[in-house]
């Protein structure tokens, strides 16, 4: 299927500071794309350039085959939901939602019908004549969404639309927005810094780092097979062990130099196989191994579990997460966070076990400052 | 308890300021307003000063009101145009140039503005000379604009930077995404200005217009320098009653009428701000 949006070599600069450094991205019609990244990575700039609010300094954006960069924002056929909602306080809820239709010269009675349909879809029937100042955060968010959807856009742009909502409403709105997008068959582009939000809502996750695409793929692919240490850390694999790796047939042997007894042979199969470790193509010799707190587990000191990378440690801190306990463990190869269903006491001796398929192995970045090893004996 | 004990101290600290306001502002104002009703000949309180003021200067009162309404309206329109371009303009150089240029008249005193416009708008002034040298105007058709038009032009020229400063400041402090949301839905820049930006800064616009109206209402130098003879603005009449006749009664009555005019616009402002406050509650 031909992409609805094709971005090629897109560059954006604010003065001498280049924010986007050559973005190439093709978005299929009807898909939900999440632009994910830390503050300052360029994700909002990319969305604003798509909308026409920020000029590009190079490259191209084509929407349904037509050059969009030369068009003003009002002629790009995209509707945007803003982080601050950007509702107009001098208008009622109905006037806010119907404004885009008024601009299109739609007769007043038809606007009324369309607004009523939007309000019904968003669960706001009866709120037509309310001032937007009287609404709660969640209701305002719905009005902002209704205003964007009322003009029946082909492309919906969402600029961190849930970041101002409280946690409970945010979880609910994720599913509502996703189901509306599916129902209407829209192409949606979401900007977020919340990886869970991106994974729950999107078909395609695009991770941005310093103005470049660090990785794009399905939520599963980005989560299970991060392409770089940055993506691995951003997707939650923030525990890092420095290891020595040696290719061995269809697998890789890992050894922790600081703990000679800790060794593991990881089988490697196709890159989509989630049962094997994710190993970068150039990982051989000095490597850095990432793992998630929730992917590892703890055993009593001296215990041994097959098919895991294991090493001894001592608990230094414990905090309660609700679903279990997050333990900080000091080891000879650094300090790590490991989630465990039951409580360990500080100073308890433990064995840290990381299943082979939970490891993400990358060639070691020698400029990285390794976490200091904390003696635990 | 602590609140009550600190009350006399607060009053003591405030008293010099209150005394100054009372002595230098409230007392003279009250005195002048009340003496508008004082008939010095019969030593009684009546409306004779007002009767005299309306019979002698009725036309000037209407003339003043028309000039002020026109000048205030034009100031508002031009200030919105300047603020709108500064906020929505896409040519960065033009925006920077306008931002640098529009404030200059702010630093020129009213009397200098009057003198400047005298030389600019006279029959053989700079404006007509420029138009004639460009071939736009025949020398025979050249005419002086040193009448109500000159006063309106001077007032607008002088007050515009002040109003534009307030209005463009209010526009700049708006949540930018409100404008972007309108543009994104299909509004042109002009529609976004008229339908989104102006309603959002309505309160500041009203303040700018009221303050401009009151400033222009109190200007003596401009009508005195630009308008020769009658009709003229009531500030000139007030000065004339005091300086030539020592007639404080009629001057006070004209002052009372000025206060009433600014009172009407202040009432509009108060009514609007009360409504806004009720709406936000």
Interchain contact, A90 vs B175, CB within 8 Å: no
Distance from CA of A138 to the nearest CA of B (A): 18
| Per-chain mean pLDDT for chain B | 92
> What does the pLDDT look like over B196-219, one tens digit per residue?
999 999 989 999 999 999 999 999
Nearest to B255 by CA among B225, B211, B217, B215: B217
Q: What is the pLDDT of residue A377?
A: 47
- Last-in-domain residue among A224, A246, A267: A224
- A254 and A299 fall within a common domain: yes
Q: What is the pLDDT of residue A95?
A: 96
Nearest to B143 by CA among B164, B127, B159, B166: B127
Q: What is the pLDDT of residue A276?
A: 66
- A26 and A139 fall within a common domain: yes
Residue of A nearest to B188 (CA): A74
Q: What is the pLDDT of residue A273?
A: 55
Q: Which of A90, A92, A132, A146 to mutate to test the interface with B (most CBs of B within 10 A)?
A: A90
Q: Report yes or no: A290 at the B interface, CB cutoff 8 Å.
A: no
Residue A232, in any domain of the structure:
no
Q: How far is CA A359 from CA A293, A336, B103, B245, in A?
A: 11, 14, 64, 101
- A256 and A169 fall within a common domain: no
Nearest to B111 by CA among B258, B219, B233: B219
Interchain contact, B180 vs A133, CB within 8 Å: no
- A127 and A216 fall within a common domain: yes
Q: Sort residue B227 into left (φ over 0), alpha (ψ -120 to 50) or beta.
A: beta
CB B165 within 8 A of CB B100: no
Residue A266, in any domain of the structure:
yes
Query: What CATH code is carried by the domain that includes residue A206?
Result: 3.40.50.300
Structural domain of residue A146, as residue ranges? 5-224
* pTM score over 0.90: no
- A114 and A164 fall within a common domain: yes
- Last-in-domain residue among A196, A224, A252: A224
Nearest to A37 by CA among A158, A194, A156, A171: A194
Question: Token match 């209150």: residue?
Answer: B18
Q: Which of B185, B188, B192, B202 to mutate to test the interface with A (most CBs of A within 10 A)?
A: B185
Interchain contact, A84 vs B186, CB within 8 Å: no
Residue A370, in any domain of the structure:
no
Interchain contact, A88 vs B200, CB within 8 Å: yes
Residue A139, in any domain of the structure:
yes
CA-CA distance, B35 to B252, in Å (whole number)? 7
Distance from CA of A291 to the nearest CA of B (A): 40
B15 exposure class (CB count in 10 Å sphere: 0-12, 13-18, 19+): exposed
> What does the pLDDT look like over A142-182, one tens digit per residue?
999 999 999 989 999 999 998 888 888 888 889 989 998 99
Q: Is the ipTM of this complex over 0.90?
A: no
Q: What is the pLDDT of residue B3?
A: 54
- A192 and A320 fall within a common domain: no
Interchain contact, B186 vs A147, CB within 8 Å: no
CB A325 within 8 A of CB A340: yes
Q: What is the pLDDT of residue A282?
A: 79
- A259 and A283 fall within a common domain: yes
CB A169 within 8 A of CB A13: no
Helix (H) or strand (E) holding B38: strand B38-39
CA-CA distance, B107 to A191, in Å (whole number)? 47
N-term to C-term CA, chain B: 31
Residue of B nearest to A145 (CA): B181
| Per-chain mean pLDDT for chain A | 90
User: Bridge partners of A312?
Assistant: A351
Query: What CATH code is carried by the domain that includes residue A294?
Result: 2.40.50.140
Interchain contact, B177 vs A100, CB within 8 Å: no
Query: Which residues are CB-contacts of A84 (< 8 A; sequence separation ≥ 6)?
Result: A164, B175, B177
CB A205 within 8 A of CB A193: no
Residue of A nearest to B180 (CA): A53
- A213 and A249 fall within a common domain: no
Query: Which residues are CB-contacts of A1 (< 8 A; sequence separation ≥ 6)?
Result: A28, A29
Query: pLDDT at residue B267 above 70?
Result: yes
Distance from CA of A153 to the nearest CA of B (A): 9
Please give the order of strands across the beta sheet that includes A58-63: A17-27, A5-14, A58-63, A66-67
Distance from CA of B173 to the nearest CA of A (A): 14
Chain Cα centroid distance, residue B87: 24
- A219 and A273 fall within a common domain: no
Read off the pLDDT of each residue in B35-44 and give the average, rounded to a whole number. 90
Question: Which stretches of chain B sit within 8 Å of chain A by CB?
Answer: 175, 177-178, 180-188, 191, 195-196, 199-200, 202, 279-280
Kindly list the residues from chain A whose CB atom is less than 8 angstroms away from the CB atom of residue B199. Answer: 88, 90
How crowded is residue A290: how many other Cβ atoms within 10 Å of its Cβ? 23
Which residue numbers in chain A have pLDDT < 70? 269-276, 369-377
Residue of B nearest to A89 (CA): B200
- A270 and A212 fall within a common domain: no
Kindly list the residues from chain B whose CB atom is less than 8 angstroms away from the CB atom of residue A149. Answer: none
Interchain contact, B187 vs A103, CB within 8 Å: yes
- A243 and A196 fall within a common domain: no
Residue A61, in any domain of the structure:
yes
Interchain contact, B185 vs A79, CB within 8 Å: yes
Q: Is the peptide bond before A65 cis (omega within 30 degrees of 0)?
A: no
CA-CA distance, A207 to A222, in Å (whole number)? 8
Residue A314, in any domain of the structure:
yes
Kindly list the residues from chain B whose CB atom is less than 8 angstroms away from the CB atom of residue A132. Answer: none
- Tell me, what DSSP letter sits at residue B140? G
Distance from CA of A79 to the nearest CA of B (A): 6
Please give the order of strands across the beta sheet that includes A155-159: A78-81, A155-159, A187-192, A32-36, A204-209, A212-217
Q: Which two tokens stand for residue B203?
A: 């309160």
Torsion of CA B59, B63, B66, B69, to 10 degrees: -120
| Total domains present in chain A | 2
Residue of B nearest to A153 (CA): B185
CA-CA distance, A80 to A159, in Å (whole number)? 7
User: Bridge partners of A288?
Assistant: A242, A362
Domains and their CATH numbers in chain B: 49-280 (1.10.3720.10)
Residue A376, in any domain of the structure:
no
List the Cα angle A15/A21/A25 in 5-degree steps.
130
Q: Report yes or no: A173 at the B interface, CB cutoff 8 Å.
A: no
Interchain contact, B180 vs A103, CB within 8 Å: no
Kindly list the residues from chain A whose CB atom is less than 8 angstroms away from the CB atom of residue B185. Answer: 74, 79, 99-100, 103, 147-148, 151
- A122 and A265 fall within a common domain: no
CA-CA distance, A176 to A246, in Å (whole number)? 48
Read off the pLDDT of each residue in B244-259 and give the average, rounded to a whole number. 94
Residue of B nearest to A157 (CA): B184
CA-CA distance, B80 to B171, in Å (whole number)? 10
Residue of A nearest to B177 (CA): A86
Interchain contact, B186 vs A88, CB within 8 Å: no
> What does the pLDDT look like over B52-76, one tens digit per residue?
999 999 999 999 999 999 999 999 9
Residue of B nearest to A132 (CA): B280
Residue A244, in any domain of the structure:
yes
* HEC string for chain A: CCCCEEEEEEEEEECCEEEEEEEEEEECCCCEEEEECCCCCCHHHHHHHHHCCCCCCEEEEEECCEECCCCCHHHCCEEEECCCCCCCCCCEHHHHHHHHHHHCCCCHHHHHHHHHHHHHHCCCCCCCCCEHHHCCHHHHHHHHHHHHHHCCCCEEEEECCCCCCCHHHHHHHHHHHHHHHHHHCCEEEEEECCHHHHHHHCCEEEEEECCEEEEEECHHHHHHCCCCHHHHHHCCCCEEEEEEEEEECCEEEEEECCEEEEEEEEECCCCCCCCCCEECCCCCEEEEEEECHHHCEEEECCCCCCCEEEEEEEEEEEEECCCCEEEEEEECCEEEEEEECCCCCCCCEEEEEEEHHHCEEEECCCCCCCCCCCCCC
Interchain contact, A86 vs B202, CB within 8 Å: no
Kindly list the residues from chain B whose CB atom is less than 8 angstroms away from the CB atom of residue A72. Answer: 183
């Amino acid at each position: 299927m031909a992409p609805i949006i094709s971005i090629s070599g897109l560059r954006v600069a604010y003065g001498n500071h280049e924010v986007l450094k050559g973005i190439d991205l093709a978005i299929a019609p009807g898909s939900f794309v999440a632009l994910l990244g830390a503050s300052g990575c360029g994700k909002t700039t990319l969305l604003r350039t798509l909308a026409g609010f920020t000029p590009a300094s190079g490259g191209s954006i084509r929407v349904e085959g037509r050059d969009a960069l030369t068009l003003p924002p009002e002629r790009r056929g995209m509707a945007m939901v803003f982080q601050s909602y950007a509702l107009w306080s001098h208008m009622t809820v109905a006037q806010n939602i119907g404004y885009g239709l008024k601009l299109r010269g739609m007769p007043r009675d038809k606007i009324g019908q369309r607004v009523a349909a939007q309000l019904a879809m968003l669960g706001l029937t009866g709120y037509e004549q309310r001032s937007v100042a009287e609404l709660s955060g969640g209701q305002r968010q719905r009005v902002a969404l209704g205003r964007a959807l009322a003009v029946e856009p082909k492309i919906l742009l969402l600029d961190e639309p849930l970041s101002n909502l409280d946690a409970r409403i945010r979880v609910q709105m994720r599913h509502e927005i996703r189901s509306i997008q599916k129902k209407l068959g829209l192409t949606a582009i979401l900007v977020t810094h919340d990886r869970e939000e991106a994974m729950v809502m999107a078909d395609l996750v695009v991770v941005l780092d310093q103005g470049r695409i660090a990785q794009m793929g399905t939520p599963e692919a980005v989560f299970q097979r991060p392409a770089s240490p940055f993506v691995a850390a951003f997707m939650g694999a923030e525990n890092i062990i420095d290891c020595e790796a040696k290719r061995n047939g269809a697998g890789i042997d890992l050894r922790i130099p600081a703990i000679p007894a800790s060794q593991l042979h990881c089988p490697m199969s196709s890159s989509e196989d989630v049962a094997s470790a994710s190993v970068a193509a150039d990982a051989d010799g000095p490597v850095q191994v990432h793992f998630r707190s929730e992917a590892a587990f703890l055993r009593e000191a001296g215990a041994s579990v097959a098919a895991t990378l294991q090493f001894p440690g001592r608990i230094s801190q414990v905090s309660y997460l609700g679903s279990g306990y997050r333990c900080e463990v000091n080891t000879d190869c650094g300090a790590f966070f490991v989630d465990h269903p039951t409580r360990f006491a500080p100073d308890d001796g433990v064995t840290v076990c990381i299943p082979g398929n939970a490891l993400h192995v990358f060639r070691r970045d020698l400029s990285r400052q390794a976490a200091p090893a904390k003696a635990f004996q | 308890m602590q609140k009550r004990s600190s009350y006399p101290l607060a009053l003591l600290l405030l008293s010099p300021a209150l005394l100054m306001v009372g002595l230098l502002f409230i007392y003279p104002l009250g005195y002048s307003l009340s003496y508008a009703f004082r008939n010095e000949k019969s030593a009684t309180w009546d409306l004779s000063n007002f009767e005299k003021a309306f019979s002698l200067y009725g036309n000037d009162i209407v003339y003043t009101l028309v000039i002020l309404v026109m000048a205030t309206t034009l100031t508002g329109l031009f200030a919105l145009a300047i603020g709108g371009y500064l906020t929505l303009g896409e040519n960065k150089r033009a925006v920077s140039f306008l931002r640098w240029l529009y404030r200059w008249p702010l630093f020129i005193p009213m009397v200098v503005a009057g003198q400047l416009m005298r030389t600019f708008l006279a029959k053989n002034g700079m404006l007509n000379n420029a138009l004639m040298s460009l071939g736009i105007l025949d020398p025979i058709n050249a005419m002086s604009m040193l009448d109500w038009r000159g006063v309106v032009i001077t007032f607008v020229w002088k007050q515009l930077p002040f109003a534009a400063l307030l209005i463009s400041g209010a526009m700049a402090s708006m949540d930018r995404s409100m404008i972007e949301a309108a543009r994104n839905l299909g509004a042109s820049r002009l529609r976004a200005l008229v339908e989104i930006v102006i309603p959002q800064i309505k309160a500041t616009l009203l303040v700018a217009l009221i303050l401009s109206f009151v400033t222009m209402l109190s200007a003596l130098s401009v009508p005195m320098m630009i308008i020769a003879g009658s009709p003229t603005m009531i500030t000139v009449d007030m000065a004339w009653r005091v300086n030539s006749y020592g007639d404080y009664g009629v001057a006070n009555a004209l002052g009372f009428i000025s206060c009433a005019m600014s009172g009407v616009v202040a009432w509009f402002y108060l009514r609007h701000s009360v409504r806004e406050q009720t709406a936000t509650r």
